Amino acid sequence: MGKTYDSLSDVHQEWIAEQHLFFVATAPLSADGHVNMSPKGYDTFRVLDAHTVAYLDLTGSGVETISHLRENGRMTIMFCAFEGRPRILRLYGTGSTVLHDDPGFGELAAAWGHPAGARSVVRLDIERVISSCGYSIPFMDYAGERETLAEWADRKGPQGIADYWDDRNAVSIDGLPGLQS
């Protein structure tokens, strides 16, 4: 069943590269705060080395991951197999962000080609990797990417995205700082 590792093996890295979807979970320190889990798609995930991964964070309706990481850094990333052998892989560690207006963002985001609406690069320094069976995960066929977010960001343009961040991404649902201009 489940196995624990200190880092990503080559087999883990190859399998991650084949996945089309991953989930990011964070939580505030406050017991009254909301645990957040977000699905992520597109080709936004990169394994940097056996102990470090990163993903390009695209504009979304909330800013929970950025807010929680600023507060405490706790993050889990989960992949699960919808095709092939059953498998779940969770990456636990300390997350951090490089925001769109931070020094070095442009250089980091270049690995993804600077898509419209990119608001940060989220990095996870891995402390633990746990694989488990995934026996109950259903088979699902990958039919392609939805272009809705990319088209929305292109229509908004840079100023429209900045306005959206000010309006919708300034604070988390728990009132923690998010993207603030």
Instruction: List the domains of the chain with CATH numbers.
Output: 3-168 (2.30.110.10)
Looking at residue 180, the DSSP 8-state letter turns out to be: -
- Residue 102's SS3 state is coil
Spatial separation of the C-alpha atoms in residues 102 and 95, rounded to whole Å = 16
Q: Can you point out the beta strands (E) in 30-149?
A: 36-40, 45-49, 52-58, 74-80, 88-99, 118-132
Walk along the chain (181 residues) in steps of 10 and give the mean pLDDT of each run: 93 98 97 96 97 97 97 98 97 97 94 93 98 96 95 96 96 93 58
- Whether the Cβ atoms of residue 169 and residue 161 lie closer than 8 Å to each other: no
| Full-model pTM | 0.96
- Residue 16's SS3 state is helix
